[in-house]
A and B are shown apart, each in its own frame.
Chain A
Amino acid sequence: MSDPSKEWPLWEVFVRGKGGLSHRHVGSVHAADGKMALEHARDTYTRRMEGVSLWVLPSAQIIASDPGDAAALFKPAEDKVYRHPTFYKIPDGIKHI
């Protein structure tokens, strides 16, 4: 039977599509260490020039918000429409604003 402590750890892979864009999550790979994770990420996720730069980081290091907290975290923004420019009525004649 498999021994989970002997499985190579999981790494999350982020690719910068081209200069000027931020790195974007594309998936994950198993690898013994960071150097190997980069090599695996290169072979798995960039076989067609999908990127110019790679990030990998141990999946276990990601701290994620709980979907159960989504309402508490994100709902308060819902009634603050005054944070958007369209909230303000400016007469048609006023230019460049």
Chain B
Amino acid sequence: MSSPAPKSPEQNEKTKKYDRQLRLWGDHGQKLLENSKICLINATALGTEIVKSLVLPGIGSFTIVDGDKISEEDIGSNFFLEKESLNSSRAQIATQCLLELNPDVRGDYIDESVEHVISNTQNFFKNFDVVIATALPEKTLIQLSKHLWDIDVPLIVCRSVGFIGYIRLQVKEHTVIEAHPDSESPDLRLSTPWPTLKQYLDSINIEQLDQKEKSHVPPLAILHYYLNKYRNEHNGQIPQKREDKEILKQMIRDSGHSEEGNNRFVLEENFEQAIHYANSCITPRSIPEHVKVILDDDCCINLKQHSSPFWIMCAALREHVQAEGELPLKGTLPDMAADTMSYVTLQNIYRKQAEHHIESVYRRVQQIVRSLGLPQDYIAEDEVKYFCKHSSEIHVIRGSCVANEYHKANPDLTFDLEDPDSLIFYYVILRGLERFISEYNAYPGQLDDQVEPDILKLKAIIGKLLNEWGCSNILRDERVHEVCRYGGAELHSVSAILGGCAAQEVIKVITHQYKPLNNTYIYDTITSTSATFCL
């Protein structure tokens, strides 16, 4: 194990400042974040909360598009608009306040409506990594989502009404390399050891060790030794079923006891760990199903000149897997009870083999890059390194365009609507709310004396929508009533929750780490429940 000389206690300021998040997405993720450009449409409370959660961790820059002037209601719900700025440009004041949060971030604004920008500025959205939209009218949303879909810029649409929140992520294709799964078993390859590993492990004869040596021998050597013994006794087979693994574990248990006076026996810790690994780590690591699907994807097989680095690396991985039969070795050894010398030796063996696999994949990547006529530095070796290390976690999302949800007979909600408690009903109501706004130019229930009549109007609109979608009208009336009660109110604490969640999804999209939402999220603050739907 290498132990580089410690850095000076004075870490550089940036590392210290961003310390917590570096733990979450690493230097490479942070770099992507720092180079990113995002656009916010409408500086509502929700919109500025999202940007706040992106400015603090240090995105590169943001641009706010908003033609509205600041009202008193805005000041009541939006922390980033001060009371002195009543009637000023909402885009300008929000930009100024957000920039105060982090001097590393750049920001600018356009004091025009998004409709104006769409029809007057060609290619305006092309340079953004993500566009965030809040409080968009139906018509604008459809237009914007189509446009961003065509130019392949991710869009995240958010809405906060009373206690209800909605987030919709639109990405044409999104690829994830580091999914950071909750748990995974270590990649040890004991059933198929490569020559160096085999040679090393073969050199340790457990049964000839004395008591002291035995208590320090690495668990992998123990497992290897008894696995061989088991195989010799079982026609070279590896234990597959639980009963078979139990036989192997018993062999380890029998030899791993040491005497501790009064005829009391304890199992040495390293033997205990060997038994633990016998559960999860001796079955040959097959290529996970989700990785197979990706490697057989058309994008992987038929590369084009504009193929993304991800797909080129997948193609190289495919070749590697065809040649080797296994994914590249992760190369990290879990901590285990063993003496330092053997632990370090083993760790080096694993690391060397992983480097060897990275080289193999990188060589293939370079060949492909050359054959596609792309520049040699199109994909850096570091990228290949991360890719190999996480090759069992790779993930691809193919999204759908928001505008499609507005075509007749779409979306298909019949299944979700069968459960009367499903939060999908809030999606239906929010769609009704959008339609209501385009028809009446106000939120349902906006005026105190209009709540009751608006409930009827909104119910009629929703009935029509459900009818268009071919669904029977089974909506619970009280939910429509509840949304009319809100009268378009935006509650700061609800927007704060949604803003935090939406910002996290934006970070996932930018860093290609963690799996993002696919694709619609509804949050209900009343019951503190939420649900995801793929529309």
Please indicate whether A and B come from the same complex rather than being unrelated chains.
Answer: no
